[in-house]
Chains A and B, each alone.
Chain A
């Protein structure tokens, strides 16, 4: 099951990556939540990518990270940067999503009261991810895990690395 959005040009083609890195995310705790997003934000800023792209990349990474913390045993965020795109993948080992269409609905959440008290679990995470990326794909296998792929196009402010 996959939801596709905004598939354009060569987003999925194999242009050579100029930067690629993978960051582990711990599931079941919020202790380090946001850490990978901060790292990725700093990295992209250092590459002189426009503020707008950095902001969107930070947001989609953050929401993905929080979902791994909330719903998965463990996972990782994979960052890939080319002159044209920032690609972020969130891959986890966890319970998976039974009904992706439902999970994508704003306001739908299976978060516990404890999670909600902290201000997570508003059911906006996946919608935010979709809205802030140019390309978004979600696949999930029940009992195995979830895989998100987000692509953000780099605008002409990009100065190269």
Chain B
């Protein structure tokens, strides 16, 4: 499953790191506590969060995440976008609430088939 497939299927708004969209998504992680994400997420994960400040870029980059999805229309702060562009970390925004976004991403990654037919 490539990041761009998820972006297309779920109509995510890409705000940074377009060059990373071809990357393979190996799994997902959900969390707003940075220490939890640092300890438990894995390389290639798509990280779903509602944190928007620039420190999420450092976490995603240190953990080699495939990218970050911000839920519920949470837009990244300006310095978050700057940093993400510089480091080539893909950040995507969706208006979906977390439950829905996570469910859809999970289905795509778990089944590796494609989008939920209801979308």
Contacts and interface: CB of A to CB of B under 8 A. Distances in A.
Interface residues of B, number: 20
A119 B58 contact: no
Interface in B20-70: 32-36, 38-39, 43, 49, 51, 53-59, 61-63
A120 B62 contact: no
Interface residues of A, number: 24
B35 A125 contact: yes
Contacts of B59: 34, 62
Contacts of A95: none
B55 A118 contact: yes
Contact of B34 (A41, A120, A132): A120
Nearest to B49: A119
A105 interface: no
B39 A62 contact: no
A34 B39 contact: no
A66 B63 CA distance: 16
Interface of A: 30-31, 33-35, 37-38, 41, 51, 55, 58-59, 62-63, 66, 118-120, 122, 124-125, 128, 131-132
Given A119-B56, A128-B38, 10 more contacts: A30-B54, A30-B55, A34-B59, A37-B62, A38-B61, A59-B62, A122-B33, A124-B36, A128-B39, A131-B39
Interface of B: 32-36, 38-39, 43, 49, 51, 53-59, 61-63
